[in-house]
Amino acid sequence: MKKLRLTVRTRSFVEGYFFISLWIAGFFLFMAVPLGRSIYYSFQELKMNTGRMTAEFVGLEHYRYAFTVDIDFMPILISTIKTVLIQVPLILIFAMFCALLLNKPMRGRLFFRGVYFLPVIVASGNSLKRLTEQGAATLPIFKQYDLYTIMLNYIPEQLLTPLLTMMDSLMIVMWGSGVQIIIFMAGLQSIPVSLYEAAKCDGATPWEVFWKITFPMMMPMILVSTLFTIVDSFTKVDNQMIKYNWTLMFNKLSFGYASAIGWIYFAFVFLVIFIVLFMFRNTSALAQERR
């Protein structure tokens, strides 16, 4: 019996699908039906009638209502986008900086690695929600000393407002960069040492080494971290859009409209992910070629 010979590309596809096979099985067992029902409900008006839930087909009415009538939807969506645009770059830069430091040989390196990952376990889920409600996710110094008014005399408002917003998000940035630090450290440790040795022999400075070797070789990890950070930011418990959808679903019992809002939000997140993948379409291939 002849052995089945596979090309390297085919073998990579088989290995990839093998690794995600459990997720695919779990998706069809636990997620496919709820997702299908939510799409169905987004075109229906669900009402309680004699103890039973009845559905009345309304077509695209919920989607039209979201963009033309609902005065809360668009402001909340825009606010969510602004928050993500601020937090995602900060998290990636902070995670890369910490990974570069933690990758260097030093005493207590294992301890510091655990310290930076600990907030991922502690400050997540309901704990993060409680901490955010108590104001632990912001820096009180800005309100206590009215820094906005003081700095407004020296910095234009157009620059000061986003600057203070970024500064006020530092706690969230530190809490949300543990996974990204691990990903970046894995990427740094996969770069061949011979490249750094050759660059050192050629007289390259640390700055040149980072931009000519480290950064290009880290592109696949940067892509993974960017996608993870975007999805994580759009689905956090303190996300305004998630809170609004929760209110529609469980407080106002507007199941059909909440389903439509959820799918609009999903489509927007998917569009953002598609844009990121399009921007990184060549960088990952170049990094693989350099290996």
- What is the Cα–Cα distance from 215 to 101, expressed in whole angstroms? 15
What average pLDDT does range 85-102 have in this prediction?
87
Percent of the chain with pLDDT over 70: 75
User: Once rounded to an integer, what is the mean pLDDT over residues 63-91?
Assistant: 88
Beta bridge partners of 48: 53
Query: Residue 181's closest CA among 120, 134, 234?
Result: 120
Domain boundaries, the chain: 71-290
Q: Give the chain's end-to-end CA distance (angstroms, integer).
A: 36
Measured CA to CA, the distance from residue 56 to residue 29 in angstroms comes to 28
Distances (CA, A) of 20 to 13, 63, 98: 11, 33, 30
Average pLDDT for residues 256-265, to the nearest whole number? 91
Question: Which pLDDT value is given to residue 8?
Answer: 77
Q: What is the tens place of the pLDDT at every residue in 135-166?
A: 555 656 666 666 666 666 667 766 666 666 66
- The model's pTM: 0.77
Of 25-39, 47-61, 104-118, 121-135, give the lowest mean pLDDT range: 121-135
Count Cβ atoms within 10 A of the Cβ of residue 157 and give its class: 0-12 exposed, 13-18 middle, 19 or more buried.
exposed
* Confidence at residue 264, expressed as pLDDT on a 0 to 100 scale: 92
Q: Which range among 96-105, 219-228, 273-282 has the greatest average pLDDT?
A: 219-228
The two structure tokens encoding residue 282:
């060549």
What's the length of the chain? 291
71-290 has which fold?
MetI-like fold (1.10.3720)
Instruction: Judge residue 262's burial from the number of C-beta atoms within 10 Å of its C-beta, 0-12 exposed, 13-18 middle, 19 or more buried.
Output: buried
CA distances from 147 to 82, 127, 137, 141 (A): 22, 29, 18, 8
Contacts of 145 (CB under 8 A, 6+ apart): none
